[in-house]
Amino acid sequence: MWNTGKARPAKLSCSALLGYPALLGYPALLGCLVLLGCSALLSCLVLLSCSAPLSFEYLNISCSVNEGETYYSEESVRLEFSIEPNHGETERNLILSEGGLSKTPVFSWNDRELSLSPPGGWKKGEYYRISLEGRIHMEDGRAYTARILRSFIYGSGGDEFTLVSSGMEEGCLVLKFSRAPGISSFTGNFSISPDTEYFCDFLGETVRVQPKSPWQINTRYTWTIKDMESADGCTMKKEYSASFQGPDDSEIPYPLELCPVSKRPSPPHLWKRGTALEGNLEDGEGIGFVFSKPMDQASLRSGISFYPAIKGYFEEAGEDSIIFFPEENYRPQTEYRITLSSAIKDSLGLGLFEEYRYYVSISRPFLEIEKLSLDSNQQALESGGIPQDHFLQPAAVPGLELQIAFSLAIPPAARKAAADSVSLSVLFPASAHNPNLVSVQWQDGGALLSMRYTDLSPSAGETDNYYQIKILSGEQGPAGSSGEYLKEDLWYVIRVR
């Protein structure tokens, strides 16, 4: 006899879902018996035996992840079927997602037990979802509609990777996490706007973000962290973002004073505060620049310029000051223009309101030639291109003596260079002899230079022989004890007879 008791509805335990059998149930069988009668029973059974077997057994599926469980930390999720299902069909109906992205699981069967895990392994702190839903067949041909759903975070409650705090400390953005962040993961998943180049110091669970250049003044920055992993493989589930204000600065810097600075062997140098540059700047002295607030020293070095240009270097003299020391003498009778560019900035990045210009005149006189003569009895020559006759004096070795009287004495250390800057050479024709310098003497304490030349060719016939005397000016020529030099080159043409 068939058991005609009421079929129990499928029900779920805390670890399983039940599937409904997909064959004819009790009411259909009773109807068959009534219609056919007892004499047809055998025929009915024969017909039923030709199709899938009748079954009133429920499909029970248990899962190693309990319903409502928040965390799970075993090596794999296991599904155990009360009836062995078709493996391929079951795998096709099972869906695994990791962080909202579908993944193809790695499956392993042991009779009626299926173990699965994500490719590449589990990620601590990551959110996973496993679902099995749809019509699946058993190995014996029966079909069931199965449904199971589990969601969990892999790991334990202590595996969560979160941002604990953030804030500014000593000009750095300091981020503190519940676990040490992965260095490459932080670098790839941390961003800041406006775009800023920065250094990172990783100190365990703490990261210090320091800009390569100071934070821009009066600027609001926004940073964001998302999809980051800890050094030990935990995934951050939440996106974090916050803003902070760059330095506030409303006081525009400006230059307070420019003054002479006497250089000493070692700092501090002697600042002549309150003394104007004009008329008081000596050779070898530096120029001190004082500003109203702490300044960016790099912008000072690049933003201060001189015209005419002068060789020198800068030396920092405090947060608000800098000194320029020349490596050559200031030019006499020269007005220097000193320019402070508007690109000069204070320590927080606020620039000068405008470009500043200062003018400094060096009143020291130029070196001059008071007299130039050929032989002691000759008239003084005049500079220029007009030839002036010179008659060679009768002597065993004909020649001439060139005398140059300077307005200032030439110091001993500069006398050789001064003599080398004076030349006597053939101007025309090229066939004339080049003179030979045979002696150099200094007289009157270095104010008078005497130079004797021989082997000059006197004019003959219709051809006149011309020679040129040239004295170089500037730093290449004669120089006084304070760096005074000739304003321009001097040259004289003589016709030798």
Mean per-residue pLDDT over the chain, rounded? 85
Most confident of 31-40, 47-56, 259-268: 259-268
Lowest mean pLDDT among 3-17, 40-54, 202-216: 3-17
- Residues 105, 108, 113, 116: is their CA dihedral positive or negative? negative
422/456 Cα distance (integer angstroms): 17
Within a domain: 9 = no
pLDDT at residue number 54: 54
Q: What CATH number corresponds to the domain at position 204?
A: 2.60.40.1220
pLDDT digits (tens, 9 = 90+) for 181-199: 999 999 999 999 999 999 9
Please tell me whether residues 21 and 140 are part of one structural domain.
yes
Structure confidence at residue 124 as a pLDDT band (50, 70, 90): confident
Q: Domain boundary at 362, 390, 423, which?
A: 362
User: What is the average per-residue pLDDT within 88-106?
Assistant: 93
Please tell me whether residues 148 and 193 are part of one structural domain.
no
How many independent structural domains does the chain possess?
4
Within a domain: 454 = yes
Q: What residues make up the domain containing 295?
A: 255-362
Please tell me whether residues 397 and 465 are part of one structural domain.
yes
Structure confidence at residue 53 as a pLDDT band (50, 70, 90): low
- Residues 461, 463, 464, 468: is their CA dihedral positive or negative? negative
**Element holding 431 (H helix, E strand):** none
How far CA 127 is from CA of 79, 135, 148, 185, 370, in Å, comes to 19, 27, 17, 18, 98
Structure confidence at residue 35 as a pLDDT band (50, 70, 90): very low
Please tell me whether residues 229 and 171 are part of one structural domain.
yes
Within a domain: 150 = yes
Please tell me whether residues 373 and 466 are part of one structural domain.
yes
Q: Domain boundary at 362, 393, 412, which?
A: 362
Please tell me whether residues 382 and 318 are part of one structural domain.
no
364/153 Cα distance (integer angstroms): 85
Q: What CATH number corresponds to the domain at position 309?
A: 2.60.40.3710
169/172 Cα distance (integer angstroms): 5
pLDDT at residue number 4: 32
How far CA 308 is from CA of 82, 161, 341, in Å, comes to 98, 63, 16
Lowest mean pLDDT among 169-173, 190-194, 390-394: 390-394
Within a domain: 250 = no
Please tell me whether residues 237 and 269 are part of one structural domain.
no
Within a domain: 440 = yes
Please tell me whether residues 119 and 22 are part of one structural domain.
yes
**Element holding 222 (H helix, E strand):** strand 220-225
Residues 6 or more apart from 295 whose CB is under 8 A from it? 253, 319, 320, 322, 344, 345, 346, 347
pLDDT digits (tens, 9 = 90+) for 259-276: 999 999 888 999 999 999
Please tell me whether residues 143 and 167 are part of one structural domain.
no
Within a domain: 214 = yes
pLDDT digits (tens, 9 = 90+) for 315-333: 999 999 999 999 988 888 8
pLDDT at residue number 397: 63
Q: Domain boundary at 199, 220, 245, which?
A: 245
Within a domain: 7 = no
Within a domain: 1 = no
User: What is the average per-residue pLDDT within 69-98?
Assistant: 94
Please tell me whether residues 418 and 484 are part of one structural domain.
yes
DSSP 114-159: EEEE-TT---BT-EEEEEEEEEEEBTTS-EEEEEEEEEEEES-GGG
Please tell me whether residues 143 and 166 are part of one structural domain.
no
Please tell me whether residues 125 and 67 are part of one structural domain.
yes
